[in-house]
């Protein structure tokens, strides 16, 4: 995976990793001791530290806690055999929290309570527009999970165009990209956020991260309930390709997206906005940081080792 962007890590990585795990435990999103141990081994704090290496300690805690919330939600709802209806029934408490309204619905779901904590910290760190942007993108992510669960339930491998469109939402990257402004201490204007060039480079970064994730997580997912929701599976089923051919094609797609990011960066630099360039650098750190993290985290490497062991036994 080619990556022309700098790969850095925050000096707060170890501390934030410990404290984020403590936050996860305190929020009770995961109670099982064995599962908590897997989260400790996965060291998700190091993903945040690589994706936001420029953030202050307080901001790094915020963005890393949100990333861990997404991993926990993904494991509980998106990589399980939960039916679409179950996820849909969980939405009211989550949406009540995001709308910050008193709808008479007791917020008992631990994911909703943890989300409320994150949302209040986003509100304290940013302005109303930044908060509303994060809320809206998080809602898109949640509704996209119902679509993905329906695919699992009916054993549907989505069509290529449908998958690419929805993967930009199921991957939750817009929600973490929206926190780059807070982490960098910058505020973009509404016109800057809407600018076609900035939207295009954001979409490219989104594609690179989620396509890399599809490649890196395929060994973990290919025998599981969520196997069809992976671009490798989509290209094998609907593109008449072998697994290796599908992986090669994804490699070419992500390399073209990286090249477009570089071209767009040159155009955007001419705007002369330091806030916009800080955001662009934040996208680049996400691309390089997600690759560096995934190549070392047991969340992914354990599955690769297992695959390699099976292949070795097959040759002997």
CATH number at residue 188: 1.10.600.10
Round to whole Å and give the CA distance between 151 and 158.
7
Evaluate whether residue 101 is within a structural domain: yes
Evaluate whether residue 275 is within a structural domain: yes
Round to whole Å and give the CA distance between 22 and 19.
5
Question: Whole domain around residue 94: which residue ranges?
Answer: 12-296
Provide the whole-model pTM.
0.91
Evaluate whether residue 250 is within a structural domain: yes
pLDDT by residue, tens only, the chain of 316 residues: 789 999 999 999 999 999 999 999 999 999 899 999 999 999 999 999 999 999 999 999 999 999 999 999 988 876 666 677 788 888 988 999 999 866 567 788 999 999 999 999 999 999 999 999 999 999 999 999 999 989 988 889 999 999 999 999 999 999 999 999 999 999 999 999 999 999 999 999 999 999 999 998 888 777 766 677 899 999 999 998 999 999 999 999 999 999 999 999 999 999 999 999 999 999 999 999 999 998 888 877 765 555 443 333 333 3
Evaluate whether residue 100 is within a structural domain: yes
Number of domains in the chain: 1
Q: Hey, is 243 helix, strand or coil? A: helix
- pLDDT value at residue 204: 98
Evaluate whether residue 104 is within a structural domain: yes
CB 112 within 8 A of CB 127: no
- pLDDT value at residue 81: 65
Round to whole Å and give the CA distance between 184 and 275.
8
Helices (H), 100-172: 110-125, 128-153, 160-170
């Amino acid at each position: 995976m080619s990556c022309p962007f700098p790969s850095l890590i925050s000096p707060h990585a170890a501390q934030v990793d410990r404290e984020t795990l403590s936050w996860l435990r305190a929020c009770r999103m995961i109670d099982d001791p064995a599962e908590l141990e897997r989260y400790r081994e996965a060291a998700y704090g190091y993903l945040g530290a690589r994706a936001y290496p420029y953030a202050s300690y307080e901001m790094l805690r915020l963005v890393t806690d949100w990333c861990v919330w997404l991993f926990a939600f993904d494991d509980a709802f998106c990589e399980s055999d939960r039916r679409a209806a179950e996820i849909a029934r969980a939405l009211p408490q989550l949406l009540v929290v995001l709308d910050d309204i008193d709808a008479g619905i007791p917020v008992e779901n631990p994911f909703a309570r943890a989300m409320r904590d994150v949302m209040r910290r986003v509100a304290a760190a940013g302005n109303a527009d930044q908060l509303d942007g994060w809320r809206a993108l998080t809602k898109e992510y949640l509704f996209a999970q119902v679509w993905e669960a329906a695919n699992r339930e009916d054993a549907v491998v989505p069509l290529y165009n449908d998958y690419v469109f929805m993967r930009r939402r199921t991957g939750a990257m817009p929600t973490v990209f929206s926190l780059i402004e807070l982490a960098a201490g910058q505020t973009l204007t509404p016109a800057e956020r809407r600018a076609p060039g900035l939207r295009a480079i954001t979409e490219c970064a989104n594609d690179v991260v989620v396509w890399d994730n599809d490649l890196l997580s395929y060994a973990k997912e290919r025998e599981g309930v969520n196997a069809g929701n992976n671009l490798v599976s989509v290209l094998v089923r609907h593109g008449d390709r072998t697994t290796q051919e599908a992986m090669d094609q994804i490699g070419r797609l992500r390399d073209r997206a990286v090249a477009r990011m570089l071209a767009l960066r040159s155009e955007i630099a001419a705007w002369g906005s330091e806030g916009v360039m800080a955001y662009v650098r934040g996208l680049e750190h996400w691309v390089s940081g997600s690759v560096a993290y995934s190549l070392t985290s047991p969340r992914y490497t354990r599955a690769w080792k297992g695959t390699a062991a099976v292949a070795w036994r097959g040759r002997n």
